[in-house]
Amino acid sequence: MKSYYDKLDNKIKEYFNILEPDFPNWLDDYINTKEMLKQKYTSLSCGTIYSDLFKSTFFYSNLDHSIAVALIVWHFTHDKKQTLAGLFHDISTPCFKHCIDFLNGDYMNQESIEDLTTDVIKNSKEIMTLLKRDKIDLTEVDNYHIYPIADNDSPKLAADRLECFFSNGLITYEIIDIEKVKEIYNDLEIQKNEDNQIELGFKTKKIARELVKYNNMLSTIYHEDKTRYSMQFIADIIKLLNKDNLIKISDLYNLKESEVIEIILKSKYKDVFNKWLKAKKVNVSKTEPKGVYYVHHPAKIRYINPLYNGVRISNACKIAKKMIDKNLSYDMTNYVYLDFSLE
């Protein structure tokens, strides 16, 4: 029986081969558990991929993302525990990913969906058997925040943040090519930051600055008007379905995104959902629009201020600082809407 990795699209395989040319075969057993494979039905793009508002058509899954994070961690540490923590970091992710943070009112931090990680691993007979076999304790792999190469506080650079940059830049939104991925990745090494902690950092100023430039382009997509609107819209549709007893919040952890969309398209919200699916642009206003469903709040700005030889690039390069400052000043005060009401 072929593993999930063997059946990957060649474009993803080529990308993964850059992250780690010598794939760690021991990781296969963990990837092919029921709990991990469930993540292949969840889009990394938080469901935005389904709307014509966004140009992307390539389905890059949350499982693809998790494997890639694990490969980056393995590449730089060759430590099984840290690598597994990277693999498992999104194991409790529900359908539509961070849209559920919006549902929970956590649109600024977008971390609420991580709360069930320990429970999902602990309740998996397959994973716990593998951990016992490999003499690894649950507490060593259920919180990737304890490993700074896997994760750290924004805007530092770690495997999770780096992988989102690479996969969204290369595959989802196509703003970089495979050669640019190689150039950026091959310039990275483990450095010590201003807090005397280890962190991925660049050897070359120009390449560190390029990461900032391209990531700022992605960052804008992550928090621009149409994205904030779409994520809150999906969250509110799910909230209404839950209120109408058509879906339980727990279902989001068991169903495929396609199955949830099927439920929406059979509900009384099918017409407004179809309008969102087929929309080419959103409307914006500085004043509150009347009689329509609108979104009017900011969202998390996902930006990176990487190290260059142990110093933040914003401190070493005026151009990079200017780019970062511009990204952080993005205007999110608009009322955003389409021409329909949810009432």
Residue 41 lies in a domain: yes
Q: Is the pLDDT of residue 108 over 60?
A: no
Residue 208 lies in a domain: no
Give the model's pLDDT for residue 106.
63
CA geometry: angle 67, 72, 73, nearest 5 deg = 95
**For the residues 302-320, what does the mean pLDDT come to?**
97
Strands 188-192 and 283-285: unpaired
Q: pLDDT averaged over the chain? A: 94
Work out the pLDDT band at 61, boundaries 50, 70, 90. very high
Residue 338 lies in a domain: no
Residue 11 lies in a domain: yes
The dihedral sign for the CA sequence 329, 335, 339, 343: positive
Give the tokens for residue 91. Answer: 């194991």
CA–CA distance, 209 with 324 (Å, rounded to integer): 10
Q: Is the pLDDT of residue 131 over 80?
A: yes
Show the domain range for 9: 5-203
Give the model's pLDDT for residue 112.
60
Q: Is the pLDDT of residue 98 over 70?
A: yes
Segment among 69-78, 134-143, 249-258 with least mean pLDDT: 249-258
Q: Which of 54, 228, 102, 73 is nearest to 163 (CA)?
A: 73
* Number of alpha carbons in the 13 Å side-chain half-sphere of residue 143: 6
Give the domain CATH number at 74. 1.10.3210.10
Q: Which of 229, 198, 253 is nearest to 76 (CA)?
A: 198
Residue 337 lies in a domain: no
Identify the helix (H) or strand (E) that includes residue 270.
helix 270-278
Residue 64 lies in a domain: yes
Residue 310 lies in a domain: no
The CA–CA distances, whole Å, from 248 to 107, 164, 240, 256 equal 21, 29, 11, 14
Work out the pLDDT band at 1, boundaries 50, 70, 90. low
Question: Tens digits of per-residue pLDDT, 140-190?
Answer: 999 999 999 999 999 999 999 999 999 999 999 999 999 999 999 999 999
Q: Is the pLDDT of residue 207 over 80?
A: yes
Work out the pLDDT band at 116, boundaries 50, 70, 90. confident
CA geometry: angle 85, 86, 88, nearest 5 deg = 65
The percent of residues in the chain predicted with pLDDT above 70, rounded, is 97
Residue 107 lies in a domain: yes
Number of domains in the chain: 1
**For the residues 31-60, what does the mean pLDDT come to?**
93
